[in-house]
Amino acid sequence: MIARRVGMGVVTLFFVSILTFVSVEILPGDLAQATLGQSATPEALAEFRKEVGLDQPAFARYMSWVDGMLHGDLGRSLSNGKEISSLIQGRLKNTLFLGIYAASIAVPLSLIFGIFAALYRDSASDKIINATALTAISLPEFFVSYILVVIFSGLGWFPALASIHPDMNLSERLYVSFLPALTLTFAVTAHMLRMTRAAIVNILSYPYIEMAQLKGVRPWRIIVRHAVPNAISPIVNVVALNLAYLLTGVVVVEVVFGYPGLGQLMVDAVTRRDVTVVQSVTIIFASAYVLLNLAADIISTISNPRIFHARRNA
Query: Residue 12 has what pLDDT?
Result: 82
Partnered with residue 76 across adjacent β-strands are 83
Question: Residues of the chain with pLDDT > 70: what percent?
Answer: 87
Q: CB count, 10 Å around CB of 268?
A: 15
Dist CA 271 CA 285 (whole Å)? 19
Residue 186: strand, helix, or coil: helix
Dist CA 54 CA 103 (whole Å)? 41
Query: Residue 153 has what pLDDT?
Result: 81
H/E run at residue 115: helix 84-119
User: Using 50, 70 and 90 to split pLDDT, how confident is the model at 34?
Assistant: low
What's the gap between Cα 233 and its chain centre? 20
Dist CA 120 CA 47 (whole Å)? 70
Contact status, residue 48 vs residue 56, Cβ threshold 8 Å: no
pLDDT digits 0-9 by tens, 22-31 = 877 777 666 6
Tell me the backbone φ, ψ of residue 122, rounded to 5 degrees.
Answer: 70, 5
Query: Residue 95 has what pLDDT?
Result: 86
Dist CA 11 CA 9 (whole Å)? 5
Domain parsing of the chain, residue ranges: 2-70, 92-313
H/E run at residue 9: helix 2-25
Q: Is the pLDDT score of 223 beyond 80?
A: no
pLDDT digits 0-9 by tens, 59-112 = 887 888 778 777 777 777 776 767 788 888 888 888 888 888 888 888 888 888
Dist CA 275 CA 61 (whole Å)? 10
Contact status, residue 98 vs residue 177, Cβ threshold 8 Å: yes
CATH number for the 92-313 domain, one of 3.40.50.150, 3.30.1700.10, 3.40.50.20, 1.10.3720.10? 1.10.3720.10
Query: Residue 152 has what pLDDT?
Result: 85
In this structure, which amino acid lies at residue 51?
Answer: E
